[in-house]
């Protein structure tokens, strides 16, 4: 690492699900070991009530699995640009906002990179989705401002941003002059696209595009479709006045199925609300289960069970969503048909956004020489088949699903100095 220039920026891929940090050495990406020899760190934190310490990444995930006493947080990037970002909450006895929490996560990865490199990094080159929030310019701008504030709070003197799919294009830019390629990056929170062509001096970006759909949305919808009905979602409660029944309000189930909204449900208000539903329930057993899940704080355990079953069903055609931590033998069988039914609207929106990227550069699918898939959710079969329909004659290649973005950011960080 001695040949690292002193003013080098640190490349940072702050992902919804996974983060990574790196620099370039002689034009080649060098990713820092960020957790026990790993190049990526799950973007999760655990605030341990007993030790009053924050844990990060796999250690945070383990604390959740071990049912240590504390607060677990994941998918924080999805909160950027929303009002939740600036609400105060208590973590380990301190009143904080999500700006503080994300800044704390970024401080941790900055320090890990600095320890590994044995030098300090004052400047960051961060990835950002093309759109944090699709179809909402104000929220999108606010999310950018929020993330910038988090970097400055984490101790960086400055931060610049690059569209995540553009970073992946830089890392996969080995195409011939005049050839055109489309990066398709399907991550945890967003889907991002970059159309680029090979030039004599590297690559030329023709269009970027994106939509706010990622693997955490797949988890949410699978949970709503297959798990939340076991907790009372879609079932009937008695009307407050008069006779008859109506469907139970659904917001509590949506929040329970949404990674970043789960922690806010662990409150007396939510318990009171769920108890109120239970008292009016036609099928009380379902709402007993909802109360158990809220009281025992099983929200993230459900989300992980759904995510695991999603990945396994995608690979092996069927798997069960194992919920035996709630009740012995409780589980939901999943198969590829159910998976496709739940996710087909998302896949259509993603493939339409991919086609739109090409159209915005006044090109058609026949002009694209190859499609390069990156991001964990690009491994989902339904995404690939839906995109293949839009680009019937274009070869689809897979680059490194989890490190393509950080490779490109690391390379670009070197030339930003
Ligand atoms: N083998 C797999 N098959 C399908 N999906 C997977 C697989 N492995 C991980 N995923 C999903 O990929 C997502 C994480 O991908 P990735 O690490 O690329 O996202 P990210 O970069 O953190 O998010 P973003 O770029 O959207 O902010 C998760 O939703 C996860 O469930
Ligand atoms: Mg990503």
Residue whose structure tokens are 């002059």: 177
330 in any annotated domain:
yes
Ligand 1 close to Cβ of residue 210 (< 6 A): no
Do both 41 and 63 map to the same domain? yes
Quick: pLDDT tens for 244-289.
Answer: 999 999 999 999 999 999 999 999 999 999 999 999 999 999 999 9
Side-chain-side CA neighbours of 34 within 13 Å: the count stands at 29
Quick: pLDDT tens for 348-372.
Answer: 999 999 999 999 999 999 999 999 9
Do both 318 and 278 map to the same domain? yes
Closest atom of ligand 1 to CA, residue 375: 18
Counting ligand 1 atoms within 8 A of each CB, the residue from 215, 219, 347 with the most, and so the one to mutate, is 215
Ligand 1 close to Cβ of residue 304 (< 6 A): no
Q: What is the pLDDT of residue 26?
A: 87
Please tell me the distance between residue 404's alpha carbon and the centre of ligand 2 in angstroms.
Answer: 9
Residue whose structure tokens are 């989890």: 402
170 in any annotated domain:
no
Side-chain-side CA neighbours of 278 within 13 Å: the count stands at 16
Q: Are strands 370-374 and 191-199 parallel, antiparallel or unpaired?
A: unpaired
Task: Read off the CATH number of the domain in which 289 is found.
Answer: 3.30.420.40
State yes or no: pLDDT of 206 exceeds 70: yes
Do both 146 and 213 map to the same domain? no
Confidence of residue 1 (pLDDT cuts 50, 70, 90): low
1 in any annotated domain:
no
Q: What is the pLDDT of residue 402?
A: 94
Q: How far apart (Å, rounded) are the C-alpha atoms in residues 56 and 105?
A: 8
147 in any annotated domain:
yes
State yes or no: pLDDT of 5 exceeds 70: no
State yes or no: pLDDT of 30 exceeds 90: yes
Confidence of residue 3 (pLDDT cuts 50, 70, 90): low
Confidence of residue 6 (pLDDT cuts 50, 70, 90): low
> What is the residue range of 154's domain?
10-165+405-415
Please tell me the distance between residue 158's alpha carbon and the centre of ligand 1 in angstroms.
Answer: 28
277 in any annotated domain:
yes
Residue whose structure tokens are 């999108």: 140
153 in any annotated domain:
yes
Quick: pLDDT tens for 289-322.
Answer: 999 999 999 999 999 999 999 999 999 999 999 9
Are 351 and 186 contacting, i.e. CB atoms less than 8 angstroms apart? no
Do both 127 and 207 map to the same domain? no
2 in any annotated domain:
no
SS3 label, residue 203: strand
Total tally of structural domains belonging to the chain: 2
4 in any annotated domain:
no
Do both 209 and 325 map to the same domain? yes
Q: Are strands 370-374 and 396-398 parallel, antiparallel or unpaired?
A: parallel
- Token representation of residue 142: 């606010």
Q: What is the pLDDT of residue 7?
A: 61
Do both 230 and 360 map to the same domain? yes
Do both 21 and 159 map to the same domain? yes
């Amino acid at each position: 690492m001695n040949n690292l220039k002193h003013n080098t920026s640190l490349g940072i891929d702050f992902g919804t699900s996974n983060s990574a940090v790196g620099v370039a050495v002689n034009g080649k990406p060098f990713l820092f070991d960020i957790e026990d020899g790993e190049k990526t760190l799950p973007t999760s934190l655990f605030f341990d009530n007993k030790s009053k310490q924050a844990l990060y990444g796999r250690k945070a995930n383990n604390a959740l699995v071990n049912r240590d006493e504390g607060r677990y947080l994941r998918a924080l990037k999805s909160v950027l640009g929303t009002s939740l970002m600036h609400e105060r909450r208590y973590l380990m006895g301190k009143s904080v906002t999500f700006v503080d929490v994300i800044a704390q996560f970024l401080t941790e990865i900055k320090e890990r990179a600095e320890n590994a490199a044995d030098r300090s990094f004052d400047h960051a080159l961060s990835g950002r989705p093309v759109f944090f929030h699709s179809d909402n310019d104000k929220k999108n701008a606010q999310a950018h401002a929020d993330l910038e504030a988090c970097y400055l709070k984490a101790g960086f003197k400055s931060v610049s941003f690059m569209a995540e799919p553009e970073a992946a294009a830089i890392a996969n830019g080995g195409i011939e002059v005049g050839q055109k390629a489309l990066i398709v990056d399907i991550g945890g929170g967003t889907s991002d696209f970059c159309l680029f062509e090979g030039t004599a001096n590297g690559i030329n970006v023709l269009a970027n595009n994106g939509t706010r759909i990622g693997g955490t949305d797949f988890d949410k919808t699978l949970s709503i479709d297959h798990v939340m009905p076991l907790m009372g979602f879609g079932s009937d409660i008695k009307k407050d006045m008069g006779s008859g029944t109506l469907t139970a309000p659904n917001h509590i189930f949506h929040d329970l199925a949404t990674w970043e909204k789960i922690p806010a449900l662990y409150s007396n208000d939510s318990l009171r609300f769920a108890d109120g539903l239970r008292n009016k329930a036609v099928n009380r057993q379902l709402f007993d289960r909802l109360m158990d899940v809220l009281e025992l704080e099983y929200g993230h355990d459900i989300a992980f069970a759904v995510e695991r079953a999603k990945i396994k069903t995608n690979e092996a055609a069927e798997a069960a969503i194992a919920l035996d931590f709630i009740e012995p033998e409780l589980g939901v069988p999943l198969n590829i048909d159910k998976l496709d039914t739940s996710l087909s609207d998302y896949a259509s929106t993603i493939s339409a956004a991919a086609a739109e990227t090409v159209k915005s550069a006044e090109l058609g699918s026949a002009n694209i020489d190859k499609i390069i898939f990156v991001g964990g959710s690009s491994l989902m079969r339904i995404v690939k088949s839906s995109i293949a329909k839009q680009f019937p004659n274009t070869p689809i290649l897979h680059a490194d699903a989890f490190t393509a973005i950080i490779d490109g950011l690391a390379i670009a960080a070197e030339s930003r100095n």
